[in-house]
Chain A
Amino acid sequence: MTAAQLQALPLQDAPPTWTRRLRGFGAVLPALVFVLLLFVVPVLALLLRSITEPTLGLGNYAAFFAGTTYLKVLGNTFLVASLVTGASLVIGFPTAWFLAIAPRRLAGLLAGIVVLSMWTNLLARTYAWMVLLQGTGLINRALLGLGLISAPLTLTNNLIGVTLGMTYIMLPFMVLPLTSAMRTIDPSVLQAASLCGATRWQCLTRILLPMLSGPIASGALMIFVMSLGYFVTPALLGGTANMMLPELIAQLVQSLLDWGLASTAATILLVLTLILYSLQVRFFGTRSTA
């Protein structure tokens, strides 16, 4: 498996025949039809309102880019998504590593906790974090009691609150794929490398990380993209100064009923994300994004 991973046999690299191409397309077709009918058509119908409401034209787009408000919110959105992705990666990598190689009992215990946390309702978990992080919350009281701080830290209604709460929710999306990928790596590859004189650091950075670049990239992609669309947790744990675009869109849709401007904001977020995605495909190749 491992040796084969590094050098693929030529059979599948032969230029694909037409039948093969068609067969591939046929396999994609059911999902494609599903997404076209249930996503593309209704969403396009809604997003078109960005140029038809209240009047035909680009007025909503002009309004979006006119003030600094929407741009700041857009910036917040990408900032928080990046922070959450980064934090999930930094915490998730060693966690997955531990899960992949620790003795069965320990790994089983941690795996159990991961599943338990995912299975608990998201809103309930978010409220629990509110209780923990408030000025009068458990964490602040513990720190005050231990004499580590003299005044309560502000942990909610700011960037710390959002990042923490969202990382908590997103972590499994990094840990799970990474763990199963690590399990498929044959430890003897690393043994071979160290026999040839590689240091641990070299083993980690030159062999382990490159072999895991695929799952890392796909986990990061899932987390980043999901973070862009979330609003329940940020609305409860973040302050209004860290407002993200989805929350603003929710206000426009549900409170102000301005679907024209809401569609505008959604279109802009969608287009920007797709641009980022295609840049990633261009620079890192498709392999690492799947």
Chain B
Amino acid sequence: MLLTYSRLGGLRFVLCGIGLTVGLFLLLPILVLVALSFGDSQWMQFPPPGWTLRWYADLFDDPDWIFAFLTSLRIAAWVTVLSVALGLVTSFGLVRSRFPGRETVRALFLMPMILPVVVLAVALYALFLRLQLNGTELGFVLAHLLLALPLSIISISGALERFDPSIEDAAVLCGASPMEAKIRVTLPAIMPGIATAALFSFLASWDEVVVAIFMASPDIQTLPVRIWGVLRQDLSPVVAAVSTLLVALTAVLMLLSAALKKKDVRA
């Protein structure tokens, strides 16, 4: 029926068509970036008049790109871990109990997402200047955590609400401690929600530029801040080269994990 692919009939082709179109839609700008990174036009002329590896040479000549990449990765990794941990605990509190003012608290958690990010950036920067947190990785992590937390709470509490708590209670009735029941029964069931929360949290930090411009210092620059400067000033295809390398890296990681999984299945 509707959720069994082989029994969808004609609808299957419609769905498949939509899936492929969306895939193409998502892929198109990436393909453009890949082409631009090998093109010899500095002005993003498309299709490029000729081909070159110059931008990759420029990229590897400049160690700052690698530093910026590692800085972004580190910050985003911390944000992801903290956001998921905090989001998990908070979601349990929000979904499983009925304390007074719960709706207000829930709305409060969403507010960092609503406020235009420039305003948040100025407010946080003013605070961090007073706390001497500006230009530190801790400052970056805290600021980005604020943006990531709502996404994490929404994703995890959504999964938690779809999970029937009575299953957890059943485990407790069968002799598990409440904590054990949460860890061994509930957690695996809401894993997709947690994975989504992790991915969104990572992205909230990885791709963030406005707060990052304020938090940046000569010692700490994230990748988006560097890309922002280069795109505004030079439009250099080095940015396209950076993007292409990241895409390639991701693709390799995905293939690797797919291959590992296949091995698991066989073993």
Identify B161's interface contact among A47, A113, A290, CB under 8 A.
A290
Closest residue to B89 on the A side, CB-wise? A27
Of B4, B23, B36, B164, which is within 8 A of A101 by CB? Answer: B4
**Selected contact of B44 from candidates A131, A191, A208, CB within 8 Å:** A131
Which of B3, B44, B157, B210 has the most C-beta atoms of chain A within 10 angstroms of its own C-beta? Answer: B3
Could you say which residues of chain A place their CB within 8 Å of the CB of B67?
none
**Is B54 part of the contact surface with A, judged by Cβ < 8 Å?**
no
| Smallest Cβ-Cβ distance to B168: which chain A residue | A12
Counting chain A CB atoms within 10 Å of each CB, the highest count among B26, B105, B149, B227 belongs to B26
Among A51-59, A64-72, A90-98, A149-157, the one that faces the other chain is: A90-98
Interface residue B75 (Cβ < 8 Å from any Cβ of A): no
A127 located at the interface, meaning its Cβ lies under 8 Å from any Cβ of chain B in the complex = yes
- In the complex, the answer to whether B95 meets A203 with C-beta atoms within 8 Å is no
Chain B, 139-163, CB within 8 A of any chain A CB? 142-143, 145-146, 149-151, 153-155, 157-159, 161-162
Q: Is the CB of B246 within 8 A of A109?
A: no
Complex Cα–Cα for A42 and B134 (A): 14
- Nearest residue (CB) in B for A177 is B196
Interface residues on A, range: 35 or more
B residues 31-52 in Cβ contact with A at 8 Å:
32-33, 36, 44, 46-47
CB contact under 8 A between A176 and B243, given known A41-B127, A106-B16 = no
Number of interface residues of B (CB under 8 A): 111
CA distance A281 to B36 in the complex (A): 47
Q: Cβ of B114 and Cβ of A269 under 8 Å apart? A: yes
Q: Which of B115, B203, B250 contacts A270 (CB 8 A)?
A: B115
Binary interface encoding of chain B residues 6-36 relative to chain A, with 1 for a CB under 8 A from any of its CBs, else 0: 0010010011101110110111111011001
Shortest B96–chain A CB gap in Å is 6
Q: Which of B109, B119, B149 contacts A253 (CB 8 A)?
A: B119
The reply to whether B32 and A138 contact each other, CB–CB distance below 8 Å, is: yes
Find residues 214-259 in chain A having any chain B CB closer than 8 Å to their own CB. Answer: 214-215, 218, 221-222, 225-226, 228-232, 245-246, 249-250, 253-254, 259
B residues sitting closer than 8 Å to A (CB atoms) are 1-5, 8, 11, 14-16, 18-20, 22-23, 25-30, 32-33, 36, 44, 46-47, 86-87, 89-90, 92-100, 102-103, 105-120, 122-124, 126-127, 142-143, 145-146, 149-151, 153-155, 157-159, 161-162, 164-167, 169, 189, 192-193, 195-196, 199-200, 203, 206-207, 209-210, 223-224, 227-228, 231, 235, 239-240, 242-243, 246-247, 250-251, 254, 258
